Structure 1
Amino acid sequence: NRNRNFMLTWSASPPHALWIAPDPWYSMYDPAEVPAPKTLADPAPQAYAKSGPAKKGKYLGEKGFREMIRCYYAQVSMIDAYIGRLLDALDETGLSENTLVIYLSDHGDMQGSHGGMLGKSVPAFYEEIVRVPMIMRLPGVIEAGKVVNAHANSVDLLPTSARNSLTWPVIRPKGSTWRAIRSTPNRKQTCAKS
């Protein structure tokens, strides 16, 4: 029923370890052209250097990290293709004009940066872990290709979704709508409190 509100959540595992990817996406990337982590040669923090992931990273070496990054690229390309199919289906069914699509990730991955660190659980706060995509699509409301260089947080998703669906909850959630984030890039950040 196209007249009823709906919500669809798709939690994709990739890009994620195990670092493997199927064709045709894996073959899209020439291993010789995949860059090594820029900070691979930097020393890892002392607290990390003795951990299990650090020991695994030592065995990978530059070639192993390049292969890991190649698989990451391939997994991202695969997810991109699947998202394209979803967006095409919304267009074909006439639902795209009033459907807010939000794409985001919960965390990044070190992938050999800063001395060969792996994963997300590292003893430091690095850009590779915390800078993640938050991409929104709502034709006629959100300008296609618009880049907003402002801090946003996952706590901002509820007010954004609720405002878009025209059903504002009785209890006002913490966070800001995307319109508020877009118009005030230097805004005071909101943190969730328990």
Structure 2
Amino acid sequence: MARKSGSHSEITGPRIRTEAQRLFARHGFAAVSMRQIAAAVGLQAGALYLYTPDKETLLFDLLKGHMDDLLAAWARVPAAATPLGRLESFVRFHIRFNLERAEAVFLSYMELRNLGPANFAAIENLRRAYENELEAILRAGQAEGGFLLPDSKLATLAIIAMLTGVNTWFREGGRLALATVEEIYWDMVRKAVGA
């Protein structure tokens, strides 16, 4: 009997992804077995293959899901009228969106190397699409003379790295409130682009 009595694919599939993400983030992709994921969900190991063909596909689905959600959520943010306003929206969006998904962000940076070439390229293309959103803002600011940047691509990568770094140290209830962190980071990014 592969499926646990009373299990439902619309419940079990998301539970598998949730537990796999938690285990991969905590122990690393290479250290986690399909048997461990199955045990965390309460399934026999063979039952996992009803939901995913292999562990790499499971990781790919997690990384792709995160990037798809990120791009879709950014697309729903109302566009500000100016590049400076759009840049501020991006800064605040990036911090808030990623803080709520710390494990997914960690996997996106630390476990990408475990994907085969085709899967790696697919995730890289999604990451590039997100980076292009920020770079378009920076280029628009340069074109109107509001941003002073020697290289928009380098600035894009530096800003995203800086904003993503909030995930490594921010804790709710810590010394600084999230709203304060957002203000400080927005001020640093604004100064970094010469605005």
Q: How does the TM-score come out when normalised to structure 2?
A: 0.33
For CA contacts below 8 A with separation 6 or more, give which structure has more relative contact order: 2
Judging by fraction of residues, say which structure has more strand.
1
